[in-house]
Structure 1
């Protein structure tokens, strides 16, 4: 009875593992995209970009107010760049931590599933692996949500950035808005968070007591 219950639980963990994997892929993709904030800029010194995409790890400028136009240049940030504001520095670390935690959670889920598949049915240890995986996924999802909220707050407050003069970008644009990367990040956070919540809620649900087999008379 315990074996059947654990195998049924593993089926739920497999579904959660797939959902977490999709969310983790979206989260990794967000790290490489620049469209977190869209800056619409008036004419500046030559070359005169009309639009810029400000990401967590790079900024790209465009000649016209059209993302389909050819980018003038993309500048990647480094840890030695002193011009980066504190909010970007913190969100960089949050995104890194979220992806590492989600990856670790996936590893723990694989270890738990492996124990079930090879019939090493040490139920308490296996459930602990799934619980740890769910907790890590929840933390990772919360971290990504914090990044999204902080980015939204920066756009709404029209925060500026002291980019180097070689970037030909003003401290603050004429207008800025949320970029297309944000919905992808929100989807990643929802998938990872829901997977963790489902894993924890399922593991913490009270189990029905197994029915003892009738002894032979």
Structure 2
């Protein structure tokens, strides 16, 4: 009998890390702090700083009915810059690929730990698919993160409509916390993908017997009848002869 559980310890760790990274990517997509806009006019934006995400733009105000004023950003809006529109698409794609990667990775680990299917080509294929999906997820997440970071560093502006109450341009910009969380999550899921792609199929036998020695209890006489393998079995593991002295 062959077992493979000892060959996938690092991949099991990769599954856990990949699942955590996928959750952090969902947090990144939902956070508004992709860009921090610092404004000079605090008559409306009384906090002096506004948060621009890929789905919403928010700020605190004491002059508006709501303390936290938010306005959604849709990909079809004419004012939306390319980097935010691409971020909406790629982050959604990253979450879908990450979910598929987690399912493939869990199935691969299950094949190694629980299934009786020991065909090498099937196991390596599933591990490769999981690793490839993890790598694709990391790339899809890193592209919008670095693109929006570059826009912040170059002080790129966004022409918001008047109902957003945003200035034409900020005094300065800073990278928000969502960028840092997303880069960390992308690094984790890429490491998980490399672990799955580096999986090596290795066999290890439990022993030379195909079946263990088993005992059957005789219910009538209360004794044990031991059944062993035949010496002339198909595998020819035993080639010795009976000892007549022992048999007598």
Residue-by-residue CA offset, 1:14-70 (whole Å, 9 max, x unaligned): 2111000010000000111001110001116x5244210111111111239xxxxx8
Distance (whole Å) between structure 1 residues aligned to residue 105 and residue 199 of structure 2 = 14
TM-score, normalised via structure 2 length: 0.75
Say yes or no: does 1:121 pair with 2:118.
Answer: yes
Match of 2:77 in 1: 81
Unaligned runs of 5+ in 1: 65-69
Match of 2:130 among 125, 129, 133: 133
Residue 8 of structure 2: SS of its match in structure 1? Answer: helix
Bigger fraction of residues in helix: 1
Q: Answer yes or no: is 1:170 the counterpart of 2:167.
A: yes
State the partner residue of 1:106.
102
Cα 1:209–1:112 change in 2 (3 A) is closer
1:51 touches 1:63 (CA, 8 Å); kept in 2? no
CA contact (8 A) 2:124 2:199 kept: no
Kept in 2, the 8 Å contact 1:60–1:71? The answer is no
Q: Shift of residue 215 of structure 1?
A: 5.2
Matches within 5 A, 1:38-53: 38-43=36-41, 47-49=44-46, 50-53=48-51
CA RMSD across the alignment: 2.4
With 109-118 and 47-56 compared, the bigger mean Cα shift is at 109-118
Matched positions, count: 206
Distance in 1 separating the partners of 2:67 and 2:136: 36
Partner of 2:181: 184
Name stretches of at least 5 consecutive residues in structure 2 with no aligned partner: 209-234, 240-248
Select the structure of larger CA radius of gyration: 2
* C-alpha contact 2:8 2:199 (8 A) present in aligned 1: no
